[in-house]
Every structure is written in C-alpha cells, then in structure tokens.
Chains A and B, each alone.
Chain A
Amino acid sequence: RKEVEQDPGPFNVPEGATVAFNCTYSNSASQSFFWYRQDCRKEPKLLMSVYSSGNEDGRFTAQLNRASQYISLLIRDSKLSDSATYLCGLNAGNNRKLIWGLGTSLAVNP
C-alpha cells in the first residue's frame, strides 16, 4: 500500500455542485495533515490545514478520520475557479518532512 493515496480523477462537476475528495494514508503516526491546491504549471499553494475536529473555510470543509486513516475535502457550491489539482500532504512522523499524494484533478464546468 502506498503511503498516501488519492483518486486521480478527473472529477468533472457542474458549477454549483458539491464534490468531495479523500486521501488515505498508511502511517498511523502522522500528526499533521494539509490540503494544497495546484493550478496547471504553478506551484502548490496551501488551501487548508486539517484539524482533528474538522475545520471549515468558506465553501471548503476538511475532515480527519484517524480510525480509518483518511482525510477528506468537501467543496460546496463549486466555482469555475475551483478547477485545479488538489494535493494532500502529511508528515510521516515526528519530523518536518511531508509526504504527498499524487493529487486529484477537478474540473468545474459551466
């Protein structure tokens, strides 16, 4: 099993739709979890950290399920500008290194 797995997609959704992505991880010692957004030919940019209790930032909601070892990202009321690749990153233990999923591609269509 890979350390971090994401469904590559692509997810094609209409504007206004709700879409959810999951990211599963194998290292139960992971403590820090992140969602990043990457536009084509650009660098990854932090979308949001994922907290144990779940957290929300506008239309975006992140959840952590430690028992099943996955994090999720929910996007409500999708916009055309949400089209991007979404990467999950997490630390592999008690260090400052992150490991990354391959990303999930989202296309929001008019």
Chain B
Amino acid sequence: DAGITQSPRHKVTETGTPVTLRCHQTENHRYMYWYRQDPGHGLRLIHYSYGVKDTDKGEVSDGYSVSRSKTEDFLLTLESATSSQTSVYFCAITDSGGKKETQYFGPGTRLLVL
C-alpha cells in the first residue's frame, strides 16, 4: 500500500463544467503522475510532477492542467470538461527507494461527462 488516495472516486458532470480531481499521498514521494485509461488506448500520461511546483506535460495534456503546491497533493483540473474526457483517471507515484521507476497507483476516479 503506497498510501495514495484519490477524490472523488466517481463523478458525473456536464460539458463545459470545470472539474478538479485530487490525488493525495502520505509517504513524501517526489514524483507523481496523472494517467487516463480508455479502452483501446491503455494508460496514457496526462501530466506529471517531479516536485512542489515542478510539473511537465505528458502525451495527452491538452484540456488539462495540474498543480502541486504541497508534496502530498497533486491536482488535475479539466478547465471545461468535454465528453471526450470521460474516462478513468489514475494517479501514481514513483517509489523513492528500491527500483526508482516502479510506479504505484491510486484507486482511480471514474469521470462521466454528459
């Protein structure tokens, strides 16, 4: 258990509405990631963070922004949700010890944009 929680776990929203998803970790990991997972596309990286206020884009960052003002929290914001952003969103961290690229995932957020 890597001590990762995500909130909300489920959300239904309407097109054009802003949405913020939260990832919280309790073990002071430096690297955090946001993925979306869709049938036929697998896990795709949206944004990642390598420290407080240090973030970078992944392969599918359009329409998403992130913020990390504290080590333990990594927020993903959909500025104006679209139906194409209906997906399952996973947060992940990289284990600071051991094999450094090993990632551990939160339980996921299921987002439906109507």
Please say whether chains A and B are actual partners in one complex. yes
| Interface of A toward B, CB cutoff 8 Å | 32, 34, 42-46, 49, 87, 89, 91, 96-103
Q: What per-residue 1/0 map shows which CB atoms of B71-85 lie under 8 Å from chain A?
A: 000000000000000
**Which residue from chain A places its CB closest to the CB of B43 in the assembled complex?**
A100
B42 partner, pick from A32, A42, A49, A101, beta carbons under 8 A: A101
Residues of B within 8 A of A101 (CB): 42
The answer on a CB contact under 8 Å between A91 and B101 is yes
**Which residue from chain B places its CB closest to the CB of A32 in the assembled complex?**
B101
- State which size class the interface on B falls in: 20 to 34
The answer on a CB contact under 8 Å between A97 and B42 is no
Of A45, A89, A98, A103, which is in contact with the most chain B CB atoms at under 10 Å from its CB? Answer: A98
Q: What per-residue 1/0 map shows which CB atoms of B35-46 lie under 8 Å from chain A?
A: 000001111110
Residues of B within 8 A of A49 (CB): 99, 102
Q: How far is the CB of A52 from chain B (nearest CB, A)?
A: 13
On whether A87 and B42 interact (CB within 8 A), knowing A34-B102, A42-B107, A96-B31, the answer reads: yes
**Which residue from chain A places its CB closest to the CB of B99 in the assembled complex?**
A49
On whether A44 and B102 interact (CB within 8 A), knowing A87-B43, A96-B50, the answer reads: no
